[in-house]
Amino acid sequence: MLVRVQSVELREGYTINVLFTDGSQREINLIPYLKGPIFDPIRVDQALFGSMQVEEGTIAWPNGADIDPDVLYYGFTPAWADTGRDYPL
C-alpha cells in the first residue's frame, strides 16, 4: 500500500503538519524542498505558499509545483537534488 498525503495544515512560516493515509503525521519545514524555478514564487510569496492543496495524494500548488509524497513520508532526497538539477521532476 502506498502512503500518500491525506491532509495538510499550515503552521508557522514554511512548516506544515501533514497527515498521511496510514494515520501518521509529521511536522515538516518545506524550505529545503522549495528549490528551483517552479518553487521561486512559492518561496517568496507566503500567500501562494499557503494556497497549497492535496491533489492525488501529494501537496500541490496552483502554479503546477508539487512535492513527491515519498519524499515527505520517508525523508528521501528530492529527485532534482539527486541528479544535480535545480528543478523538481
Report pLDDT digits (tens) over 32-84: 999 989 999 999 999 999 999 999 999 999 999 999 999 999 888 776 665 55
Bridge partners of 66, per DSSP, are: 60
How many C-beta neighbours within 10 Å does residue 75 have? 9
The DSSP symbol for 60 reads E
| pLDDT bracket for residue 87 (50, 70, 90) | very low
Residue 85 has pLDDT above 80, yes or no: no
**27-64 burial string, b = 16+ CB within 10 Å, else e?**
ebebeebbbbebbeebbeeeeebeebebeeebbbbeee
Backbone angles phi, psi at 31, to 5 degrees: -50, -45
**Residue-level pLDDT at 82:** 56
pTM, two decimals, is 0.83
**Residue-level pLDDT at 71:** 92
If you count DSSP H runs as helices and E runs as strands, how many of each does the chain have, helices first? 4, 6
CATH number of 5-77: 3.30.2020.10
